C-alpha cells in the first residue's frame, strides 16, 4: 500500500514513512493510493468475529508487509481491549458509546494504535521521536495516556487555555516525565497552526524527528474505522443505519466515510456540528471557508479550520457506493436542551458532543421516516461535569478510569500563540 499526498499526488510513500512523517510536504494530507475492499465473508458475518479479528482484517491491507502479522495482531488487540456498547435510546435511535477506554474518549482508539505502531517502528532505533499534538480537549489526554513513559518518545501537547473542561485540563497536565503540556493563550486553530509550522520547518526538522499525533497522522485516522465496524456488528436491524458523527477536525467522520468506501454497509453519514460549521456551510454553498473559532460547550468540536476536510472530499469521490453526506449545526443552548430532554424522557445521559450528534440524527430522521440510526457518544459525560450538573441537577457518575487523575500533580507551561515561544519550549 502506498500513500499519496492530497496536495501533490505524485509524492508517494509506504505506511511506515507516512506514519513517521505525519504530515505530507507543504502541509498536505496522506491518503491511500487505492482504497482496499474488506472481504465479503467478513462484511456478511461481522457478528461471528471478535473485535480483534475485525480490527486486524481492516488494518492489514493499509499496513501491508510493513508490520508482520503477529505484531499487528498484538497491536490491534491492545488498541481495542475495552467495550464499545451500542445502547438503544428509542426504537429508532442508538448511541454508540466510545468512552470506555482509559481516558474516556473515542480518541483512545487512534492514540493507542499510533503509540504501539511507533513503538514497533522505533524498537530497533536509538533516535528519539518527538510527538507534537494540538488538542481542543480529548486528543491530548488520549495521547498522553498512550505515550506515557514510552522509551525514546517525548510528547508536547498544545491546548487552548481556558477552553477545555476542568477534567480535560487535569488529563492533559497530570502526567509529567516525557509528557509536556503547553497551555496556549489562543484557540485550537492557533495550536494547530503552531504544530503545522513546526512540521514545515526544515531547519527544525534536522534537529527533531517530529511525529504528528493528530488525526492528520495516517495511523490515527485509519484505526478510527474500527468502531464503525463494531457498531454494525451489534446493529439489530436489517436496514443499514444512518450514522451521525460529532464533527470538529473531521478525522472521525472521514474515517467513517473511509470505512464505507471499503465496503461497510451503512446509510447516509451526518456531520453534526456546533457553531463551528465550516463543513455544514460548505455542503450548503459549495464553498469551503474557514472561520474564526467560536467557543461552545462541545469544546472538542471547536475547530474553525478543520484539517481533514480534504480527506472527507476524497473519500466521497473514491466511494463507489456514493456515500450520502449531510450536515447540521446546533447552538450550545440547543445542546443543553437535548441533554436535559433525553435524560428526563429516556433516562440516558449524553455528553455535549454526543448531544450534538443526537440532535443531527433526530433532525435527519424527521425528514426520512422509517430510517433508523446511530449517533456517536464520543466522551464520558463526567468529563463535562461543570456543564452537565446545572442541566440535570446532579453530578455525573465518575467512572473508575478517572480516579487515577490527580489534580495536584498538574504541570503546564503557558505560552502565547507565537512560533518563537513554542521553539523555546522544545528540548
pLDDT value at residue 212: 85
User: Residues 90, 171: one domain?
Assistant: no
pLDDT value at residue 192: 87
Asked if residue 60 is part of any domain, the answer here is no
d(CA 108, CA 330): 26
Asked if residue 50 is part of any domain, the answer here is no
pLDDT value at residue 168: 87
pLDDT value at residue 344: 97
- Average pLDDT for consecutive 10-residue bins of the chain (427 residues)? 95 95 88 95 94 97 96 97 97 97 94 93 81 84 90 91 88 91 93 90 90 89 97 96 96 96 95 96 94 91 92 87 86 98 98 98 97 97 94 93 81 93 89
pLDDT value at residue 138: 77
pLDDT value at residue 265: 94
Domain at 342, CATH number: 3.40.50.1100
Asked if residue 55 is part of any domain, the answer here is no
Question: DSSP label at 33?
Answer: S
pLDDT value at residue 322: 64
pLDDT value at residue 321: 62
> Please, which residues have CB within 8 angstroms of residue 272's CB and are 6 or more apart in sequence?
244, 245, 246, 247, 327, 328, 329, 330, 356, 357, 359, 360, 361, 375
User: Residues 374, 293: one domain?
Assistant: yes
Asked if residue 382 is part of any domain, the answer here is yes
CB 57 within 8 A of CB 44: no
pLDDT value at residue 23: 86
Q: Supply the range of the domain harboring residue 273.
A: 83-104+224-396
User: Residues 303, 364: one domain?
Assistant: yes
d(CA 321, CA 91): 27
Amino acid at each position: 500500500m502506498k500513500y499519496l499526498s492530497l496536495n501533490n499526488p505524485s509524492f508517494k510513500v509506504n505506511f511506515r514513512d507516512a506514519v513517521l512523517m505525519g504530515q505530507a510536504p507543504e502541509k498536505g494530507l496522506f491518503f491511500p493510493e487505492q482504497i482496499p475492499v474488506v472481504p465479503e465473508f467478513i462484511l456478511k458475518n461481522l457478528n461471528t468475529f471478535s473485535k480483534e479479528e475485525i480490527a486486524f482484517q481492516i488494518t492489514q491491507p493499509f499496513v501491508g508487509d510493513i508490520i508482520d502479522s503477529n505484531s499487528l495482531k498484538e497491536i490491534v488487540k491492545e488498541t481495542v481491549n475495552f467495550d464499545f456498547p451500542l445502547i438503544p435510546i428509542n426504537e429508532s435511535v442508538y448511541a454508540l458509546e466510545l468512552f470506555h477506554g482509559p481516558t474516556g474518549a473515542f480518541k483512545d482508539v487512534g492514540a493507542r494504535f499510533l503509540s504501539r505502531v511507533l513503538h514497533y517502528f522505533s524498537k530497533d532505533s536509538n533516535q528519539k521521536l518527538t510527538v507534537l499534538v494540538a488538542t481542543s480537549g480529548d486528543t491530548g489526554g488520549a495521547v498522553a495516556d498512550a505515550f506515557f513513559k514510552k522509551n525514546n518518545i517525548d510528547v508536547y501537547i498544545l491546548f487552548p487555555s481556558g477552553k477545555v473542561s476542568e477534567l480535560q485540563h487535569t488529563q492533559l497536565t497530570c502526567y509529567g516525565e516525557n509528557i509536556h503540556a503547553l497551555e496556549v493563550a489562543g484557540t485550537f486553530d492557533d495550536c494547530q497552526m503552531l504544530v503545522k509550522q513546526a512540521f514545515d520547518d526544515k531547519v527544525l526538522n534536522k534537529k527533531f524527528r517530529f511525529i504528528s499525533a493528530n488525526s492528520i497522522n495516517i495511523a490515527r485516522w485509519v484505526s478510527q474505522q474500527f468502531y464503525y465496524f463494531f457498531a454494525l456488528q451489534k446493529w439489530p436491524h436489517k436496514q443499514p443505519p444512518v450514522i451521525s458523527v460529532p464533527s470538529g477536525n473531521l478525522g472521525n467522520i472521514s474515517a467513517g466515510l473511509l470505512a464505507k468506501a471499503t465496503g461497510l454497509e451503512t446509510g447516509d453519514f451526518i456531520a453534526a456540528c456546533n457553531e463551528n460549521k465550516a463543513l455544514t456551510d460548505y455542503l450548503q454553498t459549495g464553498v469551503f471557508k474557514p472561520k474564526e473559532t467560536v467557543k461552545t460547550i462541545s469544546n472538542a468540536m471547536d475547530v474553525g479550520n478543520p484539517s481533514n476536510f480534504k480527506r472527507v472530499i476524497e473519500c466521497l469521490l473514491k466511494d463507489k457506493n456514493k456515500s450520502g453526506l449531510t450536515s447540521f449545526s446546533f447552538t450550545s443552548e440547543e445542546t443543553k436542551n437535548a441533554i436535559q430532554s433525553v435524560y428526563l424522557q429516556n433516562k440516558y445521559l449524553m455528553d455535549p458532543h454526543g448531544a450534538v450528534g443526537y440532535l443531527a440524527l433526530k433532525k435527519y430522521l424527521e425528514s426520512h421516516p422509517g430510517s433508523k440510526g446511530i449517533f456517536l457518544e464520543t466522551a464520558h459525560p463526567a468529563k463535562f461535569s461543570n456543564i452537565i450538573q446545572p442541566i440535570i441537577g446532579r453530578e455525573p457518575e465518575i467512572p473508575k478510569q478517572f480516579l487515577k487523575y490527580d489534580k495536584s500533580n498538574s504541570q503546564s507551561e503557558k505560552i502565547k500563540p507565537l512560533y518563537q515561544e513554542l521553539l523555546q519550549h522544545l528540548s
